[in-house]
């Protein structure tokens, strides 16, 4: 493998462990960045073949960062590490993921060869305009079941679930989404149906929805 790779990860420990592992597999890591500004500057100066990014760098969406990286070089390969199989729950738009990008769920990245192969293939995928590729080879049955559920959520429902998890009231969600509080209540009710959460006077529906949200993000569950 002779791809020249720029690594953009804000977690210092993750950066310090992942980069040496990639170098052991003969990847040429030419630069490391922990912020968007540094990443863009290194992109212009070093002209890497591939950029490997963590999904939310210091609170900034890696999808938005990749859009800016592609403005500098439309052919650069993109590999994104992601902890959640549905980026809508993080406030991102699936349609904004750059053409040819490889999105790897972090549990799959535990296999360094999976990550190396994605990096190796990403430059060709970008230059030939391939569709976005999601890599999730090591998902458990429970995780795959959660991913299947995401297919049944509309964008409005996914956004509302995220706002509920952020602690917003129905009235505040209505203002954010430019809709009525009644409409928000109806959306939340439909989301509860998707997760098979039924009205129960002994259990708080909102708390149950938040629990499902964090399971979706990969938080530990029982």
Q: What does the block give as tokens for 142?
A: 């429970």
Contact criterion met (CB below 8 Å) for 101 and 63: no
Contact criterion met (CB below 8 Å) for 28 and 3: yes
Q: Count Cα neighbours of 193 within 13 Å in the Cβ-side half-sphere.
A: 10
The reply to whether 11 and 104 lie within a common domain is yes
The reply to whether 9 and 77 lie within a common domain is yes
**Domain boundary at 73, 102, 135, which?**
135
222: in domain: no
The reply to whether 169 and 79 lie within a common domain is no
**What DSSP element (H or E) covers 63?**
helix 62-72
Contact criterion met (CB below 8 Å) for 38 and 12: no
The reply to whether 40 and 86 lie within a common domain is yes
165: in domain: yes
Task: List the CATH number of the domain containing 209.
Answer: 1.10.10.10
The reply to whether 17 and 46 lie within a common domain is yes
Other CB atoms within 10 A of residue 196 CB = 8
88 to 18, 22, 193: CA distances (angstroms): 26, 29, 19
CA distance 72 to 208: 44
199: in domain: yes
CA distance 178 to 170: 12
The reply to whether 69 and 148 lie within a common domain is no
Residue ranges in 73-180 assigned as alpha helix (H): 112-127, 141-150, 155-165, 170-177
The reply to whether 166 and 109 lie within a common domain is no
Which residue range is the domain that position 185 belongs to? 143-216
Indicate yes or no: pTM above 0.85. no
pLDDT, tens digit only, all 222 positions of the chain: 578 999 999 888 888 889 999 999 889 999 999 989 999 999 999 999 999 998 666 667 888 899 999 999 999 999 998 877 777 777 777 788 899 999 888 766 667 888 899 999 998 888 888 988 888 755 444 455 455 556 678 889 888 988 998 899 999 999 999 999 999 999 999 989 888 888 888 889 999 888 888 777 665 444
80: in domain: yes
Which residue is it, tokens 């950066």? Answer: 15
CA distance 103 to 48: 18
Task: List the CATH number of the domain containing 126.
Answer: 3.40.50.2300
Give me the number of domains the chain comprises.
Answer: 2
């Amino acid at each position: 493998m002779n791809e020249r790779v720029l690594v953009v990860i804000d977690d210092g420990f993750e950066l310090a462990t992942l980069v040496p592992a990639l170098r052991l597999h003969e990847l040429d890591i030419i630069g490391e960045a922990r912020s968007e500004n540094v990443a863009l500057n290194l992109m212009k100066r070093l002209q890497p073949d591939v950029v490997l990014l963590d999904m939310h760098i210091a609170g900034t969406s890696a999808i938005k960062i990749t859009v800016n990286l592609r403005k500098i070089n439309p052919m650069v390969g993109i590999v994104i590490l992601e902890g959640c199989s549905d980026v809508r729950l993080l406030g991102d738009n699936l349609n904004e993921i750059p053409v040819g990008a490889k999105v790897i769920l972090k549990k799959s990245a535990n296999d360094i060869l999976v990550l190396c192969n994605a990096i190796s293939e990403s430059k060709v995928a970008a230059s030939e305009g391939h569709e976005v590729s999601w890599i999730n080879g090591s998902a458990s049955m429970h995780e795959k079941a959660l991913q299947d559920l995401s297919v049944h959520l509309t964008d409005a429902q996914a956004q509302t679930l995220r706002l509920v998890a952020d602690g917003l009231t129905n009235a505040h969600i209505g203002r954010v989404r430019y809709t009525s509080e009644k409409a928000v209540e109806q959306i939340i009710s439909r989301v509860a149906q998707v997760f098979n959460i039924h009205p129960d006077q002994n259990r708080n529906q909102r708390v149950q929805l938040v629990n499902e949200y964090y399971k979706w993000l990969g938080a530990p569950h029982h």
